[in-house]
Amino acid sequence: METDTVKIAVLASGTGSNFKALVEGDTAPGVVDVLVTDNERAGVLQLADELGVEGRYMYPGKFRTRFGNAEEKQWADFLEDRGIQLVCLAGLMRILKGPLLEAFHGRILNIHPSLLPAFPGLDAQGQAFRYGVKVAGCTVHYVDQGTDTGPVILQRAVPVYESDTRDSLAARILTEEHMIYSEAVKAHCEGRAVYSRVVRQQKE
């Protein structure tokens, strides 16, 4: 029996290397259907064009780090009307608070460049580098109301070397991001990952 395709929308604000990894990686039965950005000048728009994926800019509202409520509803309506089943955040520098979370509850994934719950928020690689950790990494997780919280699907660790700079560490992490994002999307699309928290009870 053939598995039905899962239509994916990628939301991104910047360069789009994770978007590219999702388009080119094995996410089957998931297929990237559209790229939506909140940044008219984002390199990811050009990349979408080159990769033959429809790319569009949508106004996010007047705030810098979150959506306006009306605008978030417009984004959610657009994605629902298009029949999108999974939303992948790939460097979207904006938190979701309302309509998108409601419309796609349990069907929004995010990639974050740290081993969460360590170093949530902006410049996670810089935070890890400055802290002096010896192991860093990246996480794919389901999105909830928090900032970089939500059930973890996959993580991968990388070593931090004495010779590293913030940027050399970020590059090492990014290579792993590209690998685990496709793997996690595939796992979700095949039903091997679901939005549920595993609560581990402490033994007496």
**Which residues lie near ligand GAR (CB under 6 A)?**
12, 14-18, 90-91, 111-113, 124, 148, 174, 177
Kindly tell me which of 79 and 111 has the beta carbon lying closer to ligand GAR. 111
- The C-alpha atoms of residue 20 and residue 50 are separated, in whole angstroms, by 10
Q: Is 112 a catalytic residue?
A: yes
Kindly tell me which of 80 and 155 has the beta carbon lying closer to ligand GAR. 155
Q: How far is the CB of 133 from ligand GAR (least distance, A)?
A: 16
Q: How far is the CB of 148 from ligand GAR (least distance, A)?
A: 6
Kindly tell me which of 77 and 167 has the beta carbon lying closer to ligand GAR. 167
Name residues whose C-beta falls within 8 Å of residue 82's C-beta, 6 or more positions apart in sequence. Answer: 7, 9, 33, 34
Q: How far is the CB of 74 from ligand GAR (least distance, A)?
A: 22
- The C-alpha atoms of residue 43 and residue 17 are separated, in whole angstroms, by 10
- The C-alpha atoms of residue 47 and residue 50 are separated, in whole angstroms, by 5
Kindly tell me which of 85 and 127 has the beta carbon lying closer to ligand GAR. 127
* Entry field: residues in the chain: 204
| Among 105, 112, 178, 188, the one annotated catalytic | 112
Q: How far is the CB of 14 from ligand GAR (least distance, A)?
A: 4
**Tell me, what amino acid is at 92?**
L
SS3 label, residue 184:
helix
Helix ranges restricted to H, the chain: 17-24, 43-51, 69-81, 99-103, 124-131, 166-189
As a whole number of angstroms, the longest Cα–Cα distance in the chain is 57
Residues labelled catalytic = 112
